Chains A and B, each alone.
Chain A
């Protein structure tokens, strides 16, 4: 069982992910605003944060930067989700532990969550590291 914080501006997507992850024993707090989510993350120190890359108030890269910049959340694993085609590259370069492209199915969601919770250090493919150091 893990405590997960999920932030996304689509309330239906949040609700269905909350139900699915609760079904397999996780405890999920959901937020539609990046700002509220950050505040909660600092207090509650969740085991995993799932963040949408495109949100109206505070976007994924800003949320990620603030998480990494705060002592309470700098080591919290982050799973980024996005419908953007190049979202994977952007999210992983920005320091997300894993990326999930929308639309995804239940198995993809569960396996991404487990992956980040279990094997955090191996999550970023070498190709992206090399591409990043190339720049």
Chain B
């Protein structure tokens, strides 16, 4: 695997490349010696302070790293940390493995320093370091590897920390639902005592409002955690528009009649679709609920278009309208165009994720005079 490619890849000056090739050759020849000397010191100076780690785990990719290092010594290409070179890949993998073993960043750097020491010892014994030039290149290569390893280490550690945090949030919100269920039912029972409702109606409404807000926050946290973790599972089946429309518009219709808004739904229930019914219902419901929530007078209209390869559902409302800036960010999590209204700011983000997961799309346009037009595309069965 190691080709003496110093002459071909770069170097103008043979006198300059020759000592580096000698250094590379001695690293390859003494590879196992370097590895065991290094391992001995790591066990003495580093591993003893960390938790018990086996020699196999410690040795990890050191031999491979040394081989790649020798290759890089032969080549004359510029050294950058975090570059795409083979030795940088090994340094990167090594760092990720060290995160798993529970090394801290200080231990990671000390490992490389010990390796540098052993390499220089061997180079001196082999008498291949005669002036500053080659040793400088060796030192530069190791320093660049340290920089790459530290960068990967930090990224990998942050990623692991985020995952643990998401798991904690998931666990906590899940656990919160149990006492919340009990509290909601207990409050519901109080509502069934007429003498109590008469005497404490304000107290009871306060209790209800707080429980509702708690429920919204918990649902929102769980949903955003699932969006982050990209857990949304999609199982498309062949179905018809009629199977989802009623469920998706039921709540909005009720809300609209309570608000005194004109609510119209027009569609052909027999339009064939290839969708995940649960995800699609939840996406459409979020959009229609939003339309009613932000329309205080006028009408909300839902209608379906049947195009060749897809169905398009249009939702028109009489909200105050959206600015160009709001249109750009409205499908991102926690972006709420109207902060005065209740909600978690997740509905449209969830809708977009739910539609995209099954090959659909969502978009919005808004005129200067107010009112929004949301459209959702749903895939049809492939005939």
What is the interface of chain A, defined by CB distance below 8 A to chain B?
10, 12-13, 16-17, 19-20, 23, 83-86, 89, 102-107, 109, 126-127, 130-131, 134
- B239 contacts A106, CB within 8 Å? no
A83-B174, A106-B192, A127-B278 given as contacts; is B239 within 8 A of A13 (CB)? no
Chain A residues, CB < 8 A from B243: 126-127
A83-B177, A83-B181, A103-B184 given as contacts; is B189 within 8 A of A20 (CB)? yes
Chain A residues, CB < 8 A from B44: none
- B181 contacts A23, CB within 8 Å? no
Query: Considering the complex, which residues of chain B in the window 218-239 have a beta carbon less than 8 Å from any beta carbon of chain A?
Result: 222, 226, 233, 235, 237-239
Contact residue range for chain B?
A: 20 to 34
- B233 contacts A86, CB within 8 Å? yes
Q: State A109–B192 Cα separation when bound (angstroms).
A: 14
- B237 contacts A105, CB within 8 Å? no
Distance (whole angstroms) from the CB of B242 to the closest CB of chain A: 11
Query: Considering the complex, which residues of chain B in the window 132-186 have a beta carbon less than 8 Å from any beta carbon of chain A?
Result: 174, 177-186
What is the interface of chain B, defined by CB distance below 8 A to chain A?
174, 177-186, 188-189, 191-192, 215, 222, 226, 233, 235, 237-239, 243, 277-278
Chain A residues, CB < 8 A from B182: 10, 12-13, 16
A20-B189, A106-B189, A127-B243 given as contacts; is B178 within 8 A of A83 (CB)? yes
- A106 contacts B191, CB within 8 Å? yes
Closest to A83 in B: B177
- B226 contacts A104, CB within 8 Å? no
Closest to A23 in B: B192
CB < 8 Å: which of A16, A86, A131 contacts B185?
A: A16
Closest to A126 in B: B243
Distance (whole angstroms) from the CB of B166 to the closest CB of chain A: 14
A–B complex contacts, Cβ < 8 Å, 17 sampled: A10-B178, A10-B182, A83-B177, A83-B181, A84-B174, A86-B233, A105-B184, A105-B188, A107-B188, A109-B185, A126-B243, A127-B239, A127-B278, A130-B237, A130-B239, A131-B235, A134-B237
